[in-house]
């Protein structure tokens, strides 16, 4: 298929490469043209605007930062909506607010264009290995059309429901994952405060009922104090802002998530947003030092 792709960050670049390697052709655009240079070197075609991308692709894929970015690409000056033919399809891999996904889908529907929110989980490692979990929301009739795209990128592909449902699933994923990172950080802090080597504690836990991917990956980074990001903590902070806003809007109590949200706020305040979220351990350590200094 001839596809469009916009958004060449740490996740977008390997995802676009997999689509090229699967035999699809790509039309690309970026606010910073140099971001797309690697794709162009591999055969992608540069287009002058989002509208131009949509004019040359039946399906356009985007992977950007937030709700406003997606809406700007879709409906801003020279936006995708101006280039799509009737029956066009915009698939967005970004993590945005469920309400924004529903709003975008409704605006597109007025032009006979489909929108699918398809946030992904698995981080940069999953993007590079094409093993992402893709949770998507949109019309069930689109599944066959989407299958060759999703299969080039992910291992677990689940249609959750109508537009916006993919973002609800991603919010739930982030709630559980980051809460587990915080719990792992607290376990590491308890072990250290007790004079016990967390590396050994973690090894023991990985053989027990607390074993998890979070304990393995993020706990491993805590054990060696490696803060180089798999996913930058600022992105988890952004995701939590979205889900807490949504919870407030619909009146869903999220007491554990509220505490984790405050820890992420503290992490950002300490200037570690571009580090890995395993830095939640350093937040706890900083609190301990502040208490000791009183």
> What's the pLDDT tens digit per position in 22-43?
999 999 999 999 999 999 999 9
Q: Is the pLDDT of residue 292 over 90?
A: no
Select from 145, 162, 179 the last residue of a domain: 162
Confirm whether 170 is a catalytic residue. yes
Same domain, 177 and 70: no
Same domain, 50 and 108: yes
Same domain, 100 and 178: no
Check 139, 170, 238, 289 and give the catalytic one. 170
Select from 103, 136, 162 the last residue of a domain: 162
pLDDT the model gives residue 218: 97
Q: Is the pLDDT of residue 224 over 90?
A: yes
Same domain, 150 and 271: no
Average pLDDT over residues 41-56: 97
**118: nearest Cα among 60, 57, 43:** 60
pLDDT the model gives residue 230: 83
Distances (CA, A) of 253 to 188, 244, 258: 28, 9, 9
**pLDDT digits over 97-145, tens only?**
999 999 999 999 999 999 999 999 998 889 999 999 999 999 999 999 9
Same domain, 72 and 133: yes
**Structure pTM?**
0.92
Q: Is the pLDDT of residue 164 over 80?
A: yes
Distances (CA, A) of 171 to 130, 154, 164: 21, 19, 11
CA distance 233 to 274: 6
Select from 104, 135, 162 the last residue of a domain: 162
Task: Give the CATH number for residue 274.
Answer: 1.10.1040.10
Q: Is the pLDDT of residue 294 over 80?
A: no
Per the structure, how many domains does the chain have? Answer: 2
Domain of 150, in residue numbers: 2-162
Same domain, 103 and 195: no
Structure-token match 């994952």, residue found: 177
Contact 277, 211 (CB under 8 A): no
Same domain, 99 and 148: yes
Same domain, 187 and 46: no
Average pLDDT, rounded, for the chain: 96
């Amino acid at each position: 298929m001839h596809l469009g792709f916009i958004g060449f960050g740490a996740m977008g670049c390997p995802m676009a490469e997999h689509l090229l390697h699967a035999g699809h052709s790509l039309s690309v655009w970026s606010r910073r043209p140099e971001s797309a240079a690697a794709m162009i070197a591999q055969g992608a075609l540069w287009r002058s605007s989002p509208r131009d991308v949509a004019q040359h692709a039946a399906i356009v894929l985007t992977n950007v930062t937030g709700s406003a970015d997606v809406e700007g690409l879709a409906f801003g000056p020279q936006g995708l909506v101006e280039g799509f033919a009737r029956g066009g399809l915009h698939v967005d891999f970004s993590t945005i607010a469920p309400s924004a996904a529903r709003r975008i889908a409704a605006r597109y529907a007025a032009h006979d264009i489909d929108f699918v929110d398809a946030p992904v989980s698995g981080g940069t490692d999953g993007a590079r290995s094409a093993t992402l979990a893709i949770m998507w929301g949109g019309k069930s009739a689109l599944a066959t059309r989407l299958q060759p795209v999703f299969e080039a990128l992910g291992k677990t592909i689940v249609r959750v429901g109508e537009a916006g449902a993919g973002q609800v699933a991603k919010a739930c994923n982030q709630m559980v994952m980051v809460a587990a990172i915080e719990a792992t950080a607290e376990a590491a802090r308890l072990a250290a405060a007790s004079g016990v080597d967390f590396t050994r504690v973690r090894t023991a836990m990985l053989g027990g009922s607390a074993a998890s991917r979070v304990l393995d990956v993020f706990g491993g980074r805590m054990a060696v104090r490696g803060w180089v990001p798999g996913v930058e903590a600022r992105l988890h902070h952004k995701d939590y802002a979205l889900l807490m806003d949504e919870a407030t809007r619909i009146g869903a109590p999220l007491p554990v998530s509220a505490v984790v949200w405050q820890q992420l706020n503290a992490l950002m305040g300490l200037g570690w947003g571009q580090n890995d979220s395993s830095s939640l351990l350093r937040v706890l350590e900083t609190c301990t030092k502040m208490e000791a200094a009183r």
